Structure 1
Amino acid sequence: MSRWHELTGGTSGRDYAERFAALARSGKDMHGEARLCAALVPEGARVLDAGCGTGRVMIRLAELGYDCTGVDLDASMLAVARRQAPELPWFQADLTEFEPGELGVPAGFDLVVAAGNIFPLLAPGTEAAVAGRLAAALRPGGLLVAGFGLDEAHLPVPPGITLPEYDDCCAAAGLTLVDRFATWDADPYDGGGYAVSVHRR
């Protein structure tokens, strides 16, 4: 069982969406992830939102002209995403077993984005398998960008993966680190408790 499911029971979609809606109403910028993705690949590129949740990032990328596909295991989160953007392709799938072809979606994505602490909230021991699945979904030269917390101040659970461990998972999947930031606004990484990593296949 994933740490996310242990934390939420798979029923938190509506509450999660409302929390972000409240932040947006307060004037907080909610589109840093989409902005960074848009800086990495050109408009029209194929993007896989792995662990898409309620769709906040993917819906914005679709508005910006990207060809997006969303995948998540949590049905409550996907229900929100489908209500907000029924025209977009949302799939329920376990990232540890993810095969785009089985969903009727061709592999060869230009970019895979894993925002929202996806890797620390996986079932312990499955991180390498997920990195391998996401790498396999990329075209040669495609990018995996993942942002997640590294300490208790940036996570809802105790830390589950270090940056060196994540890099090792990516290397084993045939990915090479090309950039690392401290935020989705591309601030330089300073060794702090949150990192956004960009790896290339």
Structure 2
Amino acid sequence: MRPRWFTETAADHSESYAERFRALAAEGADLAGEARFVDALVPPGSAVLDAGCGTGRLAAELHARGHDAVGVDVDPVLLQVAAADHVGPAWIEADLATLALGREFDAVVSAGNVMVFLAPGSEDDVVRRLAEHLAPDGVLVLGFRTDRHVQVVDVEASARGASLVAEQRFSTWDLRPWQDDSDFVVMTFRRPKESG
């Protein structure tokens, strides 16, 4: 099945999405909240995967903060925008449900409602694939709206199934406490250190 990003949006959704964020940047909007969050979780110079990078704003900001940032997205239109607007990170076209980059990262982050735009039924596969790209003691960060079809408890179950340990849950990228009626969640999970 195709991701909901393609099947549940208008034909020109990618272009309008890119223009919306270009306009926000031109207006001086603070678009670095997710990057500040991730930057605080990892040491300087960490390898970070922006899974579902869209127009590349998160990976670009992490690169600017000195991290080895890689952006991956299924949408070639958004990747073209990322490559045109942001020099530094590597940009890779791939479906998160079948992701196989052959390397590990200190952090994997999937922001911007990526979880709600996956192909129906692929959430477990995506969480597992993202977990497989984590180095030992690496952190997975997921942020998405909770008022749609993706449920927090289901994502937590997927993470447990991928041998990740739940660490934190917030209602915003600026660390506001989680409430049961929050319409957004930011979750962190850790890959345990390898024993021995």
Task: Give yes or no for TM over 0.5.
Answer: yes
Query: What is the SS of the residue equivalent to 1:8?
Result: coil
Q: Deviations over 1:16-55 (max 9, x none)?
A: 1221222234443111000000010022000000000010
Q: What runs of 5+ residues in structure 2 fail to find an aligned partner? A: 192-196
| Equivalent residue letter for 1:143 | V
Measured after TM superposition, the shift of residue 197 of structure 1 is 0.2
CA distance in 2, matches of 1:75, 1:9: 16
CA distance in 1, matches of 2:73, 2:132: 17
CA distance in 1, matches of 2:30, 2:85: 19
| Equivalent residue letter for 2:160 | A
Q: TM-score, normalised by structure 2?
A: 0.92
1:17 paired to 2:24? no
Question: Superposition RMSD on alpha carbons, in Å?
Answer: 1.4
CA distance in 1, matches of 2:54, 2:23: 17
List, as ranges, runs of 4+ consecutive aligned residues in structure 1 with deviation greater than 2 Å: 7-14, 21-28, 85-88
Does the CA-based 8 Å contact 2:106-2:135 persist in structure 1?
yes
Does the CA-based 8 Å contact 2:63-2:88 persist in structure 1?
no
Q: Deviations over 1:92-138 (max 9, x none)?
A: 0011110012xxxxx22000000011111111111000000000000
Q: Give 1:6's aligned residue.
A: 7
Q: TM-score, normalised by structure 1?
A: 0.89
CA distance in 1, matches of 2:109, 2:138: 11
Measured after TM superposition, the shift of residue 190 of structure 1 is 1.4
Q: What runs of 5+ residues in structure 1 fail to find an aligned partner? A: 102-106, 152-158
Does the CA-based 8 Å contact 1:114-1:147 persist in structure 2?
yes
Q: Give 1:96's aligned residue.
A: 97
1:141 paired to 2:140? no
1:54 paired to 2:59? no
Aligned pairs for 1:82-93 (under 5 A) are: 82-93=83-94
Q: Give 2:189's aligned residue.
A: 199
